[in-house]
Chains A and B, each alone.
Chain A
């Protein structure tokens, strides 16, 4: 596996650090929401009572200004022990997978229960950071993306720019908030609150390079145990955001968990956007000139 993590170090000089991130292995998430609670407590995030959604055990709904970790719950009805016409051999391999630590299954009644803790992806090519007109969003020495709350003026551009729908405006505050990957804790050499609180190590924190190779091994393990839909999400640089500081091991397609299957940093198209804008400006000049000077004679 090639690993081409961009170097932020040049701008930080002697203060630069290795790129840090999250590997969220959803195959061992038990849906306890300790990450949501720990995040709220450490970062002193206001409550976000949404009521009862009926969407399995998820009453947090989505990431937002007051939800920086969000545990998704998906209930899928499947024949017990069989997935997509799996052979008996594969079914028995699946049973073995349970012994290997895939704990999100309630196989007896044919219910497959997926759980996943979502978070800001801390993209390599972060659209939020690129469009921020005030410079409130910045890249830290750990390669993470953080909003400076004393600079943000709540213009809302990042909210529309984020391909994952992570950032949002906090009501009664006006500014935009999101996961900081516990920048304050990282500064003190501590791991982020969510990873610290996770009882199964579904949320793993560390150097991105190390996490990526760990994820590869875990994917091989699960696939050889018959988890044919197991997949890594944003685990390399070959995607529309140039890689991410937070990536995931999923047991189904990303959209099932509310994640976009092909996220793109739209500032990649800035050339054609500015080009069309300049051409339209020139066309406007010609149109105005034609209207003013075109009527003589």
Chain B
């Protein structure tokens, strides 16, 4: 329930006292770039891991394409982040310090390091330049891809927004499986089916993990899952479900024989992964602007004697 529809604030069906139905929290000011970055960051991070492992397995065709995806995603990501800043010209201020208490600070450093590694490897893959540097850059980029895929979950979980903060234990797994799905789906598009067996296994396995982890998250959230199911977030959730199921079915039936079918399936799975990030983002916005969602659980915790409480009488 958002404040926009004019209904009274509630929590678990009961009315909640509030100040003229006004939100307690501020609406997150992040715009479309941020949930899109959650997607590209995961795509780039997991693609680097996939590329490094494919290389170890001796699948150079897949490896080279996955490295390119990783480098492209790692190049787009900072562009999205910088354009979202209120003062884009001050983006370098992100690197003034390193703060573990700020996932955004940690993530900025990861993104810079991973982007440099992925670009080095891709440059080497297509031109042969910087062979020595590549020996370090490849495994480093693959390793950095792991936190790059999941730290964005820590970023939103470490806020006062109930739908994000209460999901702090499950959200990293939802983002990790979404990243794996994105990497697999992108490789389906770029790689000929003969070399894409790992991508097919990755994509199908990740769809299952994504669905299961999302369901577990919403189950654990209980009443806090409401923003994920209502409004635009709810619609995005359905769009994601449909495109993932359709993509997985198409991949399962025709993905091995036809590159075109595999690419179509990959596109649908990518759309599903993107919709999921948007759903999580919108759910947070809806949760922050609903006073019932913020006050209700806090009041309930105080009444149960479980909260910290803030008043003395």
Name B122-173 residues within 8 Å CB distance of A: 146-147, 149-151, 153-161, 165, 168-173
Residue in A62, A232, A256, A272 whose CB lies within 8 Å of B169: A272
Asked if B258 is at the interface of the complex by the 8 Å CB criterion, the answer is: no
Interfacial chain B residues near A176, Cβ < 8 Å? 86
Name B181-201 residues within 8 Å CB distance of A: 183-184, 197-199, 201
Q: How far apart are A192's CB and chain B's nearest CB, in angstroms?
A: 23
Which residues of chain A have a CB within 8 Å of any CB of chain B? 53, 55-56, 58, 61-62, 64, 72, 74, 127, 130-136, 151-157, 159-169, 173-176, 219, 223, 229-236, 238-240, 250, 253-264, 266-267, 269-270, 272-274, 276-285, 287-295
Cα distance, A72 to B295, chains bound together (Å): 17
Question: Interface 1/0s, chain B 79-98, versus A by CB < 8 A?
Answer: 00000111110110110110
A231 touches B53 (CB 8 A): no
B86 touches A159 (CB 8 A): no
Q: Given A135-B97, A239-B310, does the pair A273, B18 have CB atoms closer than 8 Å?
A: no
Interfacial chain B residues near A295, Cβ < 8 Å? 197-198, 201
6 contacting pairs across A/B (C-beta < 8 A)? A127-B160, A157-B159, A162-B25, A238-B309, A255-B18, A261-B299
Asked if B108 is at the interface of the complex by the 8 Å CB criterion, the answer is: yes
Q: How far apart are B25's CB and chain A's nearest CB, in angstroms?
A: 4
A175 touches B87 (CB 8 A): yes
A161 touches B158 (CB 8 A): yes
B173 touches A269 (CB 8 A): no
Q: Given A160-B26, A165-B25, does the pair A72, B158 have CB atoms closer than 8 Å?
A: no
Nearest first, the 8 A-B pairs at minimum CB distance are: A154-B86, A174-B86, A258-B19, A280-B172, A153-B90, A291-B202, A262-B298, A133-B105
Residue in A74, A259, A284 whose CB lies within 8 Å of B150: A284
A156 touches B86 (CB 8 A): yes
Smallest CB gap from A56: residue in B: B20
B23 touches A284 (CB 8 A): no
Asked if B14 is at the interface of the complex by the 8 Å CB criterion, the answer is: no
Residue in A169, A174, A261, A274 whose CB lies within 8 Å of B310: A261
A131 touches B104 (CB 8 A): yes
